[in-house]
Structure 1
Amino acid sequence: GIEIELPLKRISYADAVEKYGTDKPDTRFELLIENLDDVFRDSGFGVFRNAIAEGKTVRGIFVEDSQTYSAKELKNLEKLAKTYGAKGLAYVILDEEIGGSIAKFLNENEISQLREKSNNKSGIYLIVSDTKKVALTVLGNLRNTVAKDKGYYRPDTYDMLWVVDFPAFEYDEDEGRYVAQHHMFTAPKPEHEALLDTDPGAVMANCYDFVLNGYELASGSIRIHDADLQRKIFEIIGFSEEEAQARFGFFLDALQYGTPPHGGIAYGLDRLTMILTDTDNIRDVVAFPKTLAATDLMSEAPSRAEDIQLSELHLSIKE
């Protein structure tokens, strides 16, 4: 049997992203992401100094033992970092001698601060400079890769937690408006409702995710049950009153008739089965897995649609 320590740990969305680079953190190991802006703000390494001056950030993870990675492995890690959006991956080796790709640009103060942050241990800092979103995403994926490669956790351990305090909205720069981060029917936290008129970006959603070993096993929320509040949410995400009524009038009308407070949670049984069967590929446990080309090997779907079916749907296929 596996003993589960109750109550389960809770971590805010902000802390999860800052420390682990994801809202579904694997907490079986430390290897936390560190903010290195103060170390490199006046750095002799122009890439870092300029990035910070432009409002970007420098983040890193410290991997103990300077012999942990060969030059070839570091090159592979850089390739991996680039697949997640990084322009490159810098590294600093802390040992009796300082080494690494940017070591020659660093002054004694920077080296001293890095040693202090690493508790004077030997090891290597893997560092990314970019926008906050890119840097955290890249390092979040790298920390998982490093931990798996170096055996930082036992595969048969289970570390579960709740992720809470999600933002209700995020601002879409391309569209120039707020969008719902969870979905538009999620209730804001009651104590944050007053912020809807003044600072939507500061509003927290009343939702929660259940995470196990870096996998989101369940997601839930308290739903909006008040028509006026739902209209306000529609307004914030850019719906006109007419558009909201045209698209969701049936729902707004239903909320007028005394809808009780309600909420829930939905579990991903396939992901849970995947973990319990010790596989890292969900296709191994779903009933009818698709190939990478989205075909079903058993039914040979998708099959070609008949001409009459296409005609009824006013569709045509161009090959």
Structure 2
Amino acid sequence: MADRGEYKRDQNYLTTRITADGRDGYPVEPGRYRLVIARACPWANRAAIVRRLMGLEDALSMGIAGPLHDERSWSFHLDPDGKDPVLGIERLQEAFFKRRPDYPRGITVPALVDIPSGAVVTNDFRQITLDLEQEWQALHRDGAPDLYPEKLRDEIDEVAELVFRDINNGVYKCGFATSQEAYDTAYDRLWERLDWLEERLQGRRYLVGDSLTEADVRLWPTLVRFDAVYHGHFKCNRQKLSEMPALWAYARDLFQTPGFGDTIDFDQIKTHYYGVHRNINPSGIVPKGPYPGDWLSPHGREDLGGRPFGDGTPPGPPPEGERVPPLT
């Protein structure tokens, strides 16, 4: 925290990369690594989406931490015996300590773990999705979309950085501010950027170009959590997402696109935010609403044209063990 009560995210991560040429000592190999996520976490949600869209399920297994954790780590409390069935650990912290016994920072998801050694390779969430898209191409499914086309990269990077600063991280700056001044500043920047997106998305189906890109993957996990947690829990309450016509339709469009909504478990999302952040919600009571079924209502975005997967095709259904509960 800064002196003025502003939330400061620690962005120092393990930046080792898994690459096609193995230049950091970790070459892309099918079955060697495990992607650890939590359904609750928006940063991990990005990696789960990209893994689905690229069709990497057979090449890269996925461990799912439960929604509750303490000051030590995310844990696998939903798995049998409370252990990840592949890594054999109770807490993700154990894999970080295998890499660095004195690891001094937060234990974050997503994390890519080297299964033979049991050690985390990287938790650099921004680079993980880009590498799954670019470095893992030899293991992509037929029809995997190009989420980071070279001709659009400058615009994707520019939009994604604004979204990160003011929205992805902006909701946390609202929720974890410890002064009125810091909260007011974060709140104003959040809504200025959401208004900018509302206008941008009125006449175009996707953020950049006419198909899904990395920019959409980075924005959407925040939008899908907005009404359920950020609006109330983080005091981002000028409007609900469902009261912003273009953004709400855009968010539903993606929810109904294979690879997006099929990664979402609203119960785990709410359990995490309301149950873990006791400094904000001391009672730990988890709200029953909002009604999630509205995510399946017609959105009408097809009228704007565009092709979700560009020259590619939709991914198949999630593996049996990775399916989320249906909306009720």
Higher helix share: 2
Bigger relative CO (Cα 8 Å, ≥ 6 apart): 2
Higher strand share: 1
Q: Quick check: TM above 0.5?
A: no
TM-score (norm 2): 0.29
TM-score (norm 1): 0.30
